Amino acid sequence: MSRISPKFETLPNGLQLVLIDLPSFHSVTNFLVIRSGSRYEDASNNGIAHFLEHMVFKGTKKYSNTSQLAEAIEGVGGYFNAWTANDHTAYWNSVPLSAWQRGIEVPFELAFNALLRPDDLERERGVIIEEIRRMRDDPSSFVDDLLGTVLFPNHPLGNSVIGSESNIQKMTIGQFEDYRHAYYHPSQAMFVCVGNLAGNDIRTAVLEQTKNLTAAPVTLPRHFETPSINGLNFYKKDTDQTHFMLAVADPSFALTSETGSIGRVMNAVLGSGMSSRLFLNIREKKGLAYAIHSSSHAFEDTGLIQIAGGVNTKKVDQTLSAVDEELSKLATELVGADELGKAKALIVGSYDMSADQPIDLARWYGTGRLLGDRESIEQAREKILAVKAEEIRELAKKVFVKDRQALAVIGPYDSDKIFKDFLGI
């Protein structure tokens, strides 16, 4: 793969700037990422980061309503969006090269010049509540929220990103202003510009957009490094299927951990794609589940591997036993050379394809770097290729033990006994 050559700089106001020039492109992607999100919340304001991300699209100093904001980007042929996660909020757009200045302007307008009007709050409050209700009606989404409470007990990492309906009902403009003041400042953010930069003075344009912003100390989240302990969150619901998530959390999976690449390969072997063990053995061979897969996620200080399934309710105990067998195999047997090679190819192939996607490059060199990951795509690729079968077995032996597993379940059960028995609690 061709080498990506990002240029990094920290501006005088504390904003980190990344420029990635792709001369053959006809567009520019702009990405502003901020240390914000649900792990920067407490019980009283959980959900505010996501709510704020919605509110800023209601109008800014320059673009007074949603229609004007949309026209600013879509009217030049571009598109834009935003998202909120546990540990960051991102505002981004892609625009034709001719509109590069507009593309830079809009994310900063959204983040720092939103009007936050009471009338907009009342209208958007109803939208967020409907989003919460839709999520609760979708067991495959809701089970993820349930998992956080047992995987990260009494810690902000266990917070729901979307928050609770009761919290959303009570939020005030003052809370939004306080939250924005605490976390929305240049020292807490990174701006990435990817595409055909065409010799344009991106740095000067960014300085112009942030000239009224001042540096402030970076607020780091409350640390979490304790390995997960087993626990159950069971939610009774009259569903046609049982939905579950089984997970372990460990610092070995953290964004900056030296063993993070081992965890990613182990996850690929276990449950990434139709060639994974979970899919082939539990769905294809045994016919126990329609949907079964695993995924990994890395935070600054910890990370997790989680297994999600949608299962015939009468076969849930068989499915969990089959999952247990796969975890035990990883901890006791070496992954074969062919299987290991395929898992590595799946990951490095995704890295290669990410290098062709401006938004993926922006996330890699923006979100990752903001949260402490200094690896280039090329360096990460080499680490994946260097993972050994023995390293996977040792890591699996460490983390996939019964008293480390957290389980969330949604299903039509009168008792949670079978799940407690599975966990040994």
Token pair for 378: 């090329």
Domain boundary among 176, 209, 242: 209
Count how many domains the chain has.
2
End-to-end Cα spacing for the chain: 49
For residue 2, the model assigns a pLDDT of 62
Q: Report d(CA 334, CA 393) in Å as an integer.
A: 6
For residue 12, the model assigns a pLDDT of 95
Q: Does 334 share its domain with 187?
A: no
Predicted confidence (pLDDT) per residue in 168-191, tens digit: 999 999 999 999 999 999 999 999
Q: Closest Cα to residue 307, out of 234, 229, 260, 244? A: 244
- Specify if 369 maps to a domain: yes
Reported as a pLDDT band with limits 50, 70 and 90, residue 226 is confident
> Could you count the other beta carbons within 10 Å of the beta carbon of residue 375?
18
- Residue 132 and residue 77 in contact, taking contact as beta carbons nearer than 8 Å: no
- Specify if 331 maps to a domain: yes
Q: Does 127 share its domain with 168?
A: yes
Q: What percent of the chain shows pLDDT beyond 70? A: 100
- Specify if 373 maps to a domain: yes
Q: Does 272 share its domain with 362?
A: yes
Predicted confidence (pLDDT) per residue in 74-123, tens digit: 999 999 999 999 999 999 999 999 999 999 999 999 999 999 999 999 99
Q: Does 198 share its domain with 237?
A: no
Residues in the chain: 425
Q: Does 85 share its domain with 203?
A: yes
Q: Report d(CA 339, CA 276) in Å as an integer.
A: 9
Q: Does 205 share its domain with 57?
A: yes
Token pair for 286: 């045994």
For residue 109, the model assigns a pLDDT of 98
Q: Report d(CA 85, CA 33) in Å as an integer.
A: 11
Q: Report d(CA 117, CA 115) in Å as an integer.
A: 6
What angle separates helix 139-151 from helix 118-136, to the nearest 10 degrees?
Answer: 100
Name the 3-class secondary structure at 390.
helix
- Specify if 132 maps to a domain: yes
Q: Does 387 share its domain with 348?
A: yes
- Specify if 223 maps to a domain: no
Q: Report d(CA 325, CA 422) in Å as an integer.
A: 12
Backbone dihedral angles phi then psi of residue 224, each to the nearest 5 degrees: -140, 115
CA angle 402, 330, 286 (to 5 degrees): 90
241-242-248-253 Cα dihedral, nearest 10 degrees: 10
Token pair for 103: 């593309």
Given a cut of 80, whether residue 225 has pLDDT beyond it is no
Predicted confidence (pLDDT) per residue in 326-383, tens digit: 999 999 999 999 999 999 999 999 999 999 999 999 999 999 999 999 999 999 999 9
For residue 242, the model assigns a pLDDT of 96
Q: What percent of the chain shows pLDDT beyond 90? A: 96
Q: What is the mean pLDDT of residues 21-46?
A: 97
Partnered with residue 312 across adjacent β-strands are 241
For residue 227, the model assigns a pLDDT of 82
Token pair for 38: 């649900």
Q: Does 251 share its domain with 394?
A: yes
For residue 367, the model assigns a pLDDT of 97
For residue 1, the model assigns a pLDDT of 52
> Could you count the other beta carbons within 10 Å of the beta carbon of residue 280?
14
Q: Which domain holds residue 170?
A: 7-209
Q: Report d(CA 137, CA 81) in Å as an integer.
A: 25
- Specify if 18 maps to a domain: yes
Q: Report d(CA 27, CA 40) in Å as an integer.
A: 34
Predicted confidence (pLDDT) per residue in 264-293, tens digit: 999 999 999 999 999 999 999 999 998 999
- Specify if 130 maps to a domain: yes
Q: Does 184 share its domain with 284?
A: no
For residue 84, the model assigns a pLDDT of 98
- Residue 9 and residue 202 in contact, taking contact as beta carbons nearer than 8 Å: no
- Specify if 221 maps to a domain: no
DSSP 8-state class, residue 368: I
Q: Report d(CA 140, CA 134) in Å as an integer.
A: 11
Backbone dihedral angles phi then psi of residue 93, each to the nearest 5 degrees: -155, 160
Q: Report d(CA 140, CA 235) in Å as an integer.
A: 12
Q: What is the mean pLDDT of residues 248-264?
A: 96
Average pLDDT in the chain: 96
CATH number at residue 385: 3.30.830.10
For residue 228, the model assigns a pLDDT of 84
Q: Does 13 share its domain with 142?
A: yes
Q: What is the mean pLDDT of residues 187-200?
A: 96
- Residue 368 and residue 188 in contact, taking contact as beta carbons nearer than 8 Å: no
Q: Does 23 share its domain with 163?
A: yes
- Residue 235 and residue 208 in contact, taking contact as beta carbons nearer than 8 Å: no
Q: Does 270 share its domain with 329?
A: yes
